[in-house]
Amino acid sequence: MHWNIVSPYQDTTSNNPEGEWLLPYLPKDKHNYSLLSRRSKNVNWHERSSPVTDYREWLNLWEQSRRAVTTCQGGMVTILPQLASVIGLQQRFFGPQFPLVAWWFNTNLYKGYKCWLASAALKDVNRFIVHNRLEREVYSQWLGVPINRFEFVPMPTRILPITEQEDTERPFILSVGSAFRDYPLLFEAVKKLGLRTIVASGPKTLEGLEIPSMVEVPLGIKNPEILSLTQRARLAVLPLRQEGLIAGTVAALEALSLGCPLIATDRPGPDDYIQHGKTGLLVRPNSLTALVEAIDHLWHDDTLRGQMRKQSRQYAEEQLTLKAAGAALGGILDQVANEWEHSPQRLKHCIR
């Protein structure tokens, strides 16, 4: 089957688009693919001033989706829920039918008319790909869609070469990120232990917090510097509050992929990726005692840290690569194509 891949990360205004997504790793024996680019500038979804998609972006998504629908000769794969929603609406209102797979389906649980609109737009999606297991059950109930249409696939991450070693002369704890972070708890823990700590976060997240003397907060550092710190840290801590459906997944994956010993709050997000005692340590939420004990133990146990560095890197190389994600998606596309072949809604002609 031919699949149109529709991504908000690809555009025609840049000389250096952000790679080819999973295309090099998708199986070619049963399927072929076309990547549909944007005609407007890429949107950095993590650096926008507002988490809400504004009307200009919705118009850009509508235009991109319309081109995808009118050129569809088989099925459609969308990246992020906005494109899946827009294409789902076009299916409902304009009539073309094709199998639709929504990759990286991660969204807020809206209420009222937004919930109704999401349910209407997404009711015919054949598969939703989520990167945390809890999302299967929650989104199934929220949208009123059978849970067997939701598939968990581990989120792929870049497996970069490890070029630096643990800083043994000036050892430090590293904590990275902003969303739902429990930095007050971390600050209390490192104050008790007196351990040097570097926190790479945004000013809004740290605003109003009392920063202990042993904590450094280098604001505005870029990703290459964070990757360097992750390799040189004695250990990383991912302190998380309980708000939000999922939190901390991306930060956890970066630490695992670079073999950095990791302590994280035991909550949806890290719990899908950290094997307690092997690739990291999971601690009770809101527990200063548990966090202090975990940091103190891992800080002083050289053998355990060495084992975690090896095991977390091995796990990432086996389970979190683009190749692994491409193989998983390929298997899902096989299932969807087979189901569609026997579906009464199957297209008999190319959509023009």
| CA neighbor of 277 nearest in space, from 250, 297, 253 | 297
Structural domain boundaries enclosing 135: 2-155+321-341
According to the model, what pLDDT value does residue 56 have? 86
According to the model, what pLDDT value does residue 143 have? 98
Residues of the chain with pLDDT under 50: 12-18, 44-50, 347-352
CA 352 to CA 344: how far, in whole Å?
20
Domain for residue 84, yes or no? yes
Domain for residue 315, yes or no? yes
Sign of CA dihedral 206, 212, 218, 223: negative
Do 76 and 192 fall into the same domain? no
Domain for residue 160, yes or no? no
Is residue 258 classed as helix, strand or coil in its secondary structure?
coil
Domain for residue 66, yes or no? yes
Do 314 and 326 fall into the same domain? no
Is residue 18 classed as helix, strand or coil in its secondary structure?
coil
Do 326 and 312 fall into the same domain? no
Do 204 and 221 fall into the same domain? yes
SS3 content of the chain, % helix, strand, coil (to 5): 40, 15, 40
CA 79 to CA 155: how far, in whole Å?
13
Do 55 and 143 fall into the same domain? yes
Domain for residue 272, yes or no? yes
CA 128 to CA 143: how far, in whole Å?
11
Q: With contact defined as beta carbons under 8 Å apart, do 211 and 217 qualify?
A: yes
According to the model, what pLDDT value does residue 45 have? 44
Do 244 and 332 fall into the same domain? no
Domain for residue 314, yes or no? yes
Domain for residue 9, yes or no? yes
CA 200 to CA 216: how far, in whole Å?
9
Kindly state the tokens that stand for 174. 């590293």
According to the model, what pLDDT value does residue 55 have? 81
| CA neighbor of 129 nearest in space, from 42, 18, 5, 2 | 5
According to the model, what pLDDT value does residue 93 have? 83
According to the model, what pLDDT value does residue 346 have? 64
According to the model, what pLDDT value does residue 269 have? 96
pLDDT tens column, 335-348: 999 999 988 776 44
**Which CATH number goes with the domain that contains 330?**
3.40.50.2000
According to the model, what pLDDT value does residue 203 have? 95
What is the domain count for the chain? Answer: 2
Sign of CA dihedral 95, 108, 174, 283: negative
Q: With contact defined as beta carbons under 8 Å apart, do 6 and 310 qualify?
A: no
Burial status of residue 72 (CB atoms within 10 A of its CB: 0-12, 13-18, 19 or more): buried
Do 214 and 315 fall into the same domain? yes
Do 119 and 191 fall into the same domain? no
Kindly state the tokens that stand for 313. 């890197």
Is residue 10 classed as helix, strand or coil in its secondary structure?
strand
CA 61 to CA 74: how far, in whole Å?
20
Q: With contact defined as beta carbons under 8 Å apart, do 232 and 165 qualify?
A: yes
Domain for residue 117, yes or no? yes
Q: Tally helices (H) and strands (E) across the chain.
A: 11, 12
According to the model, what pLDDT value does residue 139 have? 99
